[in-house]
């Protein structure tokens, strides 16, 4: 049945226009309970390829549609009749609003006259308001007589799909401030919320956790952003972690009841909160933050990572890159102090008898001998397995000349020397220069220091193996890739790290009581 409007040209109904407009906004799913006047909208939605799921109550339909928004980043649509249908949907709308999830509810209302119907621009607007800034729910009211009205297609002004939400970064000075608060922290804790899940920040947050060796706690719906079985997950000690943290970084989580409002006794009175959120109104809720980072979590985390990568590497950065690139079935040999200790948490083993380290006697100097033995056995029994020997610079010194043995028998061992210019800690080249000016080095050089920037990789190249001297994450990645690809040749990567880099303080320092 065509109205006079559509006497010439192709006719299109209000319901079809609604469906096409939703389709144009990349809406994929519609949930609802049909009735007059919205049944035709559901039929038209199916006709344009939107999946329609008929539910038994508008409340469940609305919950379903809101979860689509969280899972896909594009709002799900909930289709309801006016009056009771809309009232039932309110629970779902409130839930979506409080959860910060995008949602569009379309309700059919009573007929209105034609003048008020130039309303299709409201779709992109509704999609934009549901996904931009803090995501949430939107309601569109469709006049009942509009649904079946036929108009000439050429008279319709179609709107294009709205742009995806712009991605904003935080102010640079706020990022530096947050980084310096975090660096000075003794007991930092990252709290990962569902905002982080929604912003797909999983890769960047995991990288930050690993590069900085930070413990993290997910909120219920953020579980899995960084896997629950990650060694830095402190969920099993949630209360203790919250109570003792001196700095907390909130990644898209609110200090509401789920997090005990951020207040004592569940949190320290003097806890410093670094808050990352896309919603300015949320910043400072309940606890006055020490730093606020207003922006998209994924983008802000990348800003923090960029800052971190520009600093001299620390143990955690180095081990993160090693872990990313070495084969799961490699045989790991390791010795050193911090190198071996931190390596034990950061470099996982997946098979038995594939890790050799300083052992019961805590012996330094075993590494290269162990690596040579492992390479001999691997050659005969599991030739596909690579031997990787991770050494502290001091530990390497105990048996460095065995590199000649490795080269003589052409054993494809990869040695990685994590070089901090010393035993436990060392000096950077500038401090070294200043100190040796003070007199005889034997009287003024700290006993823990070794010669800064020693080129241990040249021990390897001296005997025909491949040596790499690396200072940045990128150089480290390239050296690892090259030496792992060249399966025939022994290699040594000398990785310079921050001489003051340390592991996190121990709670029970009975073995390391020294103050040096």
Select 86 or 316, whichever has its Cβ closest to Mg ion: 316
Of 273, 297, 313, 337, the one binding ligand ADP (CB under 6 A) is 297
Binding site for Mg ion (CB under 5 A): 392-394, 420
Map the footprint of ligand ADP across residues 384-423, applying CB under 6 A.
none
Whole-angstrom Cα distance, residue 40 to residue 56? 18
Q: Sheet containing 491-496: which strands, arranged edge to edge? A: 355-357, 331-335, 387-392, 414-419, 491-496, 466-470
Closest of 267, 218, 206 to residue 242, by C-alpha: 267
* Dihedral-angle region of residue 310 (phi above 0 means left; psi in -120 to 50 means alpha; beta otherwise): alpha
Nearest residue relative to ligand ADP (C-beta): 195
Closest of 415, 330, 331, 326 to residue 373, by C-alpha: 331
Angle between helices 14-24 and 122-131 (to 10 degrees): 40
Of 37, 69, 108, 195, the one binding ligand ADP (CB under 6 A) is 195
Of 277, 335, 391, 457, the one binding ligand ADP (CB under 6 A) is 277
- Residue 279 interacts with ligand ADP (CB under 6 A): yes or no: yes
Q: Sheet containing 76-81: which strands, arranged edge to edge? A: 51-54, 29-32, 76-81, 103-109, 137-143
Of 134, 323, 344, 466, the one binding ligand ADP (CB under 6 A) is 134
Q: Are 88 and 40 in contact (CB under 8 A)?
A: no
- Tell me how far, at minimum, the Cβ of 101 lies from ligand ADP, in Å: 9
Task: Show Cβ contacts of residue 69 under 8 Å, excluding neighbours closer than 6 positions.
Answer: 75, 76, 96, 101, 102, 103, 130, 131, 135
- Residue 198 interacts with ligand ADP (CB under 6 A): yes or no: yes
Select 131 or 389, whichever has its Cβ closest to ligand ADP: 131
- Residue 96 interacts with ligand ADP (CB under 6 A): yes or no: no
Number of chain residues interacting with ligand ADP (CB under 6 A): 22
Task: Show Cβ contacts of residue 167 under 8 Å, excluding neighbours closer than 6 positions.
Answer: 296, 298, 299
Of 16, 25, 59, 219, the one binding ligand ADP (CB under 6 A) is 219
Q: Are 197 and 222 in contact (CB under 8 A)?
A: yes
For the record, the structure tokens of 250 come out as 């909130």
Of 74, 194, 206, 207, the one binding ligand ADP (CB under 6 A) is 194
Select 20 or 282, whichever has its Cβ closest to ligand ADP: 282
Q: 296 contacts which partner out of ligand ADP, Mg ion, none, CB within 5 to 8 A by kind?
A: ligand ADP
Q: Are 282 and 293 in contact (CB under 8 A)?
A: no
- Tell me how far, at minimum, the Cβ of 420 lies from Mg ion, in Å: 4
- Tell me how far, at minimum, the Cβ of 134 lies from ligand ADP, in Å: 4
- DSSP class of residue 378 equals H
Region binding ligand ADP by CB under 6 A among candidate stretches 138-146, 275-283, 477-485, 502-510: 275-283
- Exposure class string for 361-378: b at 16+ Cβ within 10 A, else e: eeebebbbebbbebbeeb
- Tell me how far, at minimum, the Cβ of 250 lies from ligand ADP, in Å: 8
- Residue 282 interacts with ligand ADP (CB under 6 A): yes or no: yes
Select 62 or 300, whichever has its Cβ closest to ligand ADP: 300
- Tell me how far, at minimum, the Cβ of 280 lies from ligand ADP, in Å: 9
- Residue 313 interacts with ligand ADP (CB under 6 A): yes or no: no
Q: Are 253 and 192 in contact (CB under 8 A)?
A: yes
Region binding ligand ADP by CB under 6 A among candidate stretches 75-83, 219-227, 348-356, 359-367: 219-227
Closest of 158, 156, 159, 148 to residue 14, by C-alpha: 148
- DSSP class of residue 216 equals E
Q: 279 contacts which partner out of ligand ADP, Mg ion, none, CB within 5 to 8 A by kind?
A: ligand ADP
- Residue 132 interacts with ligand ADP (CB under 6 A): yes or no: no
φ/ψ of residue 418, rounded to 5: -90, 105
Whole-angstrom Cα distance, residue 439 to residue 436? 6
Whole-angstrom Cα distance, residue 105 to residue 30? 10
Whole-angstrom Cα distance, residue 32 to residue 65? 9
Q: Find residue 274's DSSP bridge partners.
A: 249, 291
SS3 of 53-99: EECCCHHHHHHHHHHHHHHHCCCEEEEEECCHHHHHHHHHHHHHHHH
- Residue 252 interacts with ligand ADP (CB under 6 A): yes or no: yes
- Residue 242 interacts with ligand ADP (CB under 6 A): yes or no: no
Of 188, 193, 343, 490, the one binding ligand ADP (CB under 6 A) is 193
Region binding ligand ADP by CB under 6 A among candidate stretches 139-147, 194-202, 324-332, 342-350: 194-202
Name the one residue in this structure whose structure tokens are 């034609």. 114
For the record, the structure tokens of 511 come out as 């073995």
What is the x/- site pattern for ligand ADP, positions 349-388, by CB under 6 A?
----------------------------------------
Select 53 or 451, whichever has its Cβ closest to Mg ion: 451
Of 47, 163, 258, 436, the one binding ligand ADP (CB under 6 A) is 258
Select 30 or 205, whichever has its Cβ closest to ligand ADP: 205
Q: 117 contacts which partner out of Mg ion, ligand ADP, none, CB within 5 to 8 A by kind?
A: none
Closest of 493, 464, 480, 455 to residue 404, by C-alpha: 464
Region binding ligand ADP by CB under 6 A among candidate stretches 70-78, 141-149, 278-286, 456-464: 278-286
Residues that bind ligand ADP (CB under 6 A): 99-100, 134, 193-195, 198-199, 219, 221-222, 252-254, 256, 258, 277-279, 282, 296-297
């Amino acid at each position: 049945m065509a109205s006079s409007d559509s006497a010439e040209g192709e006719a299109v109904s209000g319901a079809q226009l609604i469906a096409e407009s939703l389709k144009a906004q990349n809406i994929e799913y519609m949930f609802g309970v049909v009735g007059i006047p919205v049944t035709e909208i559901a039929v038209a939605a199916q006709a344009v390829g939107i999946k329609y799921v008929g539910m038994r109550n508008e409340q469940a339909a609305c919950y379903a549609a809101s979860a689509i928004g969280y899972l896909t980043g594009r709002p799900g649509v909930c289709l309801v009749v006016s009056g009771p249908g809309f009232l039932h949907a309110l629970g779902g709308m409130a839930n979506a609003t409080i959860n910060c999830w995008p949602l569009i509810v379309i309700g059919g209302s009573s007929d209105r006259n034609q003048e008020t119907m130039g309303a299709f621009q409201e779709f992109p607007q509704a999609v934009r308001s549901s996904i931009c800034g803090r995501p949430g729910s939107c309601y569109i009211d469709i006049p009942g007589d509009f649904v079946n009205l036929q108009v000439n297609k050429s008279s319709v002004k179609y709107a294009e799909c709205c742009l995806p939400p712009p991605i904003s970064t935080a102010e640079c000075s706020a990022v530096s401030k947050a980084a310096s608060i975090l660096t000075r922290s003794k007991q930092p804790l990252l709290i990962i919320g569902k905002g982080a899940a929604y912003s797909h920040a999983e890769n960047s947050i995991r990288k930050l956790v690993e590069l900085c060796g930070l413990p993290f706690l997910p909120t219920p719906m953020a579980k899995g952003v960084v896997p629950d079985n990650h060694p830095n997950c402190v969920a099993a000690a949630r209360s203790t972690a919250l109570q003792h943290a001196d700095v907390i970084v909130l990644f898209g989580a609110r200090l509401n009841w789920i997090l005990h409002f951020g207040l004592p006794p569940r949190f320290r009175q003097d806890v410093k909160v670094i808050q990352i959120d896309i919603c300015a109104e949320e910043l400072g809720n309940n606890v006055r933050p020490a730093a606020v980072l207003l922006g998209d979590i994924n983008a802000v985390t990348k800003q923090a990572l960029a800052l971190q990568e520009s600093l001299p590497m620390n143990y955690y950065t180095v081990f993160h890159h090693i872990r990313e690139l070495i084969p799961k079935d490699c045989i790991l040999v390791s010795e050193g102090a911090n190198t071996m200790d931190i390596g034990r948490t950061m470099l996982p083993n997946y098979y038995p008898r594939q890790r050799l380290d300083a052992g019961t006697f805590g012996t330094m100097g075993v590494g290269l001998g162990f690596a040579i033995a492992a390479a001999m056995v691997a050659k005969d029994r599991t030739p596909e397995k690579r031997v990787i020997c991770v050494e502290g610079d001091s530990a390497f010194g105990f048996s460095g000349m065995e590199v000649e043995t490795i080269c003589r028998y052409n054993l494809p061992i990869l040695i990685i020397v994590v070089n901090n210019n010393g035993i436990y800690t060392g000096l950077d080249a500038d401090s070294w220069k200043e100190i040796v000016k003070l007199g005889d080095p034997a009287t003024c050089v700290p006993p823990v220091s070794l010669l800064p920037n020693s080129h241990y990789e040249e021990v390897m190249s001296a005997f025909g193996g491949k040596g790499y001297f690396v200072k940045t994450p990128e150089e480290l990645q390239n050296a690892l890739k090259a030496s792992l690809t060249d399966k025939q040749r022994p290699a040594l990567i000398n990785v310079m790290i921050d001489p003051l880099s340390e592991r996190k303080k121990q709670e029970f320092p009975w073995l390391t009581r020294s103050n040096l």
